[in-house]
Amino acid sequence: MAVQELLRMQGVGKSYFGNRVLANVNFTLGKGEILGLVGENGAGKSTLMNILFGMPVIAETGGFEGKILLDGKEVFFTNPFEALEAGVGMVHQEFSLIPGFSAAENIVLNRESTKYNLIVEAFGDRLRTLDRPKIDARAEKAIDTLNVVLDKKTIVSEMPVGHKQFVEIAREIDKETTRLLVLDEPTAVLTEGEAAILLQSMRRLADMGISIIFISHRLQEILDVCDKIIVLRDGEVVKELTPEKTDIFEIASAMVGRSIDKQFLREERVEILGEPLLKVENLWVDMPGETVRDVSFEVRKGEIFGIGGLAGQGKLGIGNGIMGLFAAGGTVAFDSRPVPLNDPMAVLSMGIAAVSEDRREVGLLLDEPISWNIIFTALQVQNRFLRTLPGGFIRIRDIKAIRECARQYIEALEIKCVSERQRVVELSGGNQQKVCLAKAFALEPRLLFVAEPTRGIDVGAKKVVLDTLREYNRKNGVTIVVISSELEEMRSICDRIAIIDEGRVAGILPASAPSAEFGLLMLGKVEKTKERVNV
């Protein structure tokens, strides 16, 4: 199929302060084609799109190398407005909608259809009256193009996230000049059904002659919808694929640069597990959105115990409740000693540590250096990393010991950073998660709660995190409780998995049980509520 070429990138490269993030990117995109752009976090996708879109950050840091040709003519956008004018539209991950405006108003924002009135004579065109019927018609047309059910009069702040995403795409469609549309992870916030609709709409847009660059972490979507797939790794195009001739495994392994098809394979272990280490009886936790009603279970010494279940059923409440972060009751015994509830310090000093599911809010000190993040809890709970000043009364932070400890974990967990003094906010999601793990490891706990260890991090980092947990369990004999919504990941590292449903344990199965059985336990609730709704 000989399609007319719309966009061509020739040898595009970029470095920030001597740090190369993009090198020699070449590709072409035809009219009405969908290009899938995949890569791990930090592979250079965003930088590439920033260059294409003329984001000021690129010019401020010394411009870029290579050429961008649009319709055969070289273009060089110095700001996003020029890009918009040339027909390049972008839908961002973050919503750039005005919450108090209706869908229609957002769609036509700053390009409203207007009517003449008398005031214009005196004050100029900026005071023309809005032509509401025309605006509505335009919005409706854009929404229809997407083929979604969406009321143009709904206020954006009252919409589900999926609809906001559609409004944003509709806005780009409404611009008649749009020839190239960049969608940056549009499906990340959508439900499966909504994502399917979006993919269909993308196909329709492509058929109308609009070219699309589609960035997504969901590889199946990429395979389903794209005409061409480009895999970026460490700033370089490592593979250019066509969906007919490839599969998820090839893309995924190209992304991380190593074969990962064995990633989720279980590693059976032979040794017999020890005595019960943690006994939980009739635990209730008042955590908003994750209420735990009545949970009892036992975790044995040396085990990796999984706690799964659908979101909102209370699995996250268990860890947070035992760690004393939310009001809780019931009996919890650790190594046959009672664990005081609602007292984080007491729990931590018993040798129990936790990695929070809420990395940014609870898990990290974003504005502090990596080293602080790693050692702080150990310093507070175990009085480590302190040295005594001459005189013997006052103990202050031992900078040297802190640095050594931080460096040791940075090396062991392969945390990518400039130095241990870099602020955590500057790290990528996967590396932040590694810092969270290092923080927990630095406490040298006997029992470790890890909540959602792989949430929001890329494929490569997921594997490293899971491997680290398994290794830590095997080598140091630390008992680990993994709380996660990713059943397959849990099955790959856990020994037994409990499924939580409506704040209660629905069942505990060995991880080797077929996934259908886990599914049934989780869905028990779904069916029940359905019945209830019907009644």
Partner 1 sequence: MERIKSFIEAAGWPRIIIALFLLSLFIIAPFVQVRLDASISDTLVRFGMNGVMVLAMVPMVQAGCGLNFGLPLGIIAGLLGAVTSIELNLTGLAGVLTAMAIAIPIAVLLGFAYGLLLNRVKGGEMMIATYVGFSSVAFMSIMWLLLPYKSPNMVWGYAGTGLRTTISVDQYWIRAISDVFAIQKGDYFYFPTGMFLFLGLLCFLMWIFMRTKTGTAMTTVGSNPDFARASGVNVDRMRTISVILSTVLGAIGIIVYQQSFGFIQLYMGPFYMAFPAVASILIGGASVNKASILNVIIGTILFQGILTMTPSVINSIVQTDMSEVVRIVVSNGMILYALTRVVSVKSR
Chain position carrying tokens 């019945």: 531
Alpha-carbon distance 218 to 255, whole Å?
13
Min dist. Cβ of residue 481 to partner 1 (A): 16
Size of the site for partner 1 (CB under 8 A): 32
Nearest to 283 by CA among 299, 270, 268, 267: 299
Residue with smaller CB distance to partner 1, 340 or 510: 340
CA geometry: angle 344, 349, 353, nearest 5 deg = 70
Residue with smaller CB distance to partner 1, 157 or 388: 388
* Binding track, positions 286-325, relative to partner 1; x by CB under 8 A: -------------------------------------x-x
Of 385-424, binders to partner 1 (CB under 8 A) are: 386, 389, 394-397
Alpha-carbon distance 341 to 97, whole Å?
44
Q: Measured between alpha carbons, how far is residue 391 from residues 173, 386, 394, 395, 396 in Å?
A: 73, 15, 8, 10, 12
Min dist. Cβ of residue 440 to partner 1 (A): 11
Residue with smaller CB distance to partner 1, 298 or 398: 398
Min dist. Cβ of residue 191 to partner 1 (A): 29
Alpha-carbon distance 293 to 312, whole Å?
12
Of 2-31, binders to partner 1 (CB under 8 A) are: none
Min dist. Cβ of residue 476 to partner 1 (A): 21
Alpha-carbon distance 105 to 114, whole Å?
13
Residue with smaller CB distance to partner 1, 183 or 480: 480
Min dist. Cβ of residue 449 to partner 1 (A): 11
Min dist. Cβ of residue 324 to partner 1 (A): 8
Residue with smaller CB distance to partner 1, 371 or 485: 371
Alpha-carbon distance 305 to 443, whole Å?
20
Min dist. Cβ of residue 436 to partner 1 (A): 10
Min dist. Cβ of residue 223 to partner 1 (A): 40
345 binds partner 1 (CB under 8 A): yes
Residue with smaller CB distance to partner 1, 236 or 398: 398
| CB neighbourhood size of 170 (10 A) | 28
Min dist. Cβ of residue 356 to partner 1 (A): 6
Q: Measured between alpha carbons, how far is residue 187 from residues 157, 183, 449 in Å?
A: 19, 9, 30
Q: Are 467 and 260 in contact (CB under 8 A)?
A: no
Nearest to 232 by CA among 24, 56, 427: 24
Min dist. Cβ of residue 319 to partner 1 (A): 11
175: β partners: none
Residue with smaller CB distance to partner 1, 372 or 518: 372
- Residue 11's SS3 state is strand
Chain position carrying tokens 């206020």: 155
Binder of partner 1 out of 348, 448, 506, 509 (CB under 8 A): 348
Q: Are 454 and 492 in contact (CB under 8 A)?
A: no
- Residue 519's SS3 state is helix
Residue 293 CA, chain-centre distance (Å), reads 29
Residue with smaller CB distance to partner 1, 143 or 316: 316
180: β partners: 88, 211
Min dist. Cβ of residue 403 to partner 1 (A): 14
Q: What is the CA radius of gyration of the chain?
A: 27
Q: What is the DSSP letter of 478?
A: -
Residue with smaller CB distance to partner 1, 210 or 348: 348
Residue with smaller CB distance to partner 1, 74 or 343: 343
Min dist. Cβ of residue 364 to partner 1 (A): 7
Region near partner 1 per CB under 8 A, out of 19-27, 227-235, 272-280, 351-359: 351-359
Region near partner 1 per CB under 8 A, out of 187-195, 278-286, 341-349, 468-476: 341-349
Residue with smaller CB distance to partner 1, 361 or 531: 361
Min dist. Cβ of residue 383 to partner 1 (A): 7
Residue with smaller CB distance to partner 1, 295 or 379: 379
- Give backbone dihedrals phi and psi of 331, rounded to 5 degrees, phi first: -115, 130
Region near partner 1 per CB under 8 A, out of 97-105, 144-152, 350-358, 517-525: 350-358
Alpha-carbon distance 111 to 134, whole Å?
12
* Binding track, positions 353-392, relative to partner 1; x by CB under 8 A: -x-x-x--xxxxxxxx---x---xx-xxx-x--x--x---
- Give backbone dihedrals phi and psi of 92, rounded to 5 degrees, phi first: -85, 165
Q: Are 428 and 416 in contact (CB under 8 A)?
A: yes
Nearest to 278 by CA among 249, 300, 308, 306: 300
| E strand or H helix at 279 | strand 276-285
Residue with smaller CB distance to partner 1, 185 or 398: 398
- Give backbone dihedrals phi and psi of 334, rounded to 5 degrees, phi first: -120, 120
Residues forming the site for partner 1 (CB under 8 A): 323, 325, 344-349, 354, 356, 358, 361-368, 372, 376-377, 379-381, 383, 386, 389, 394-397
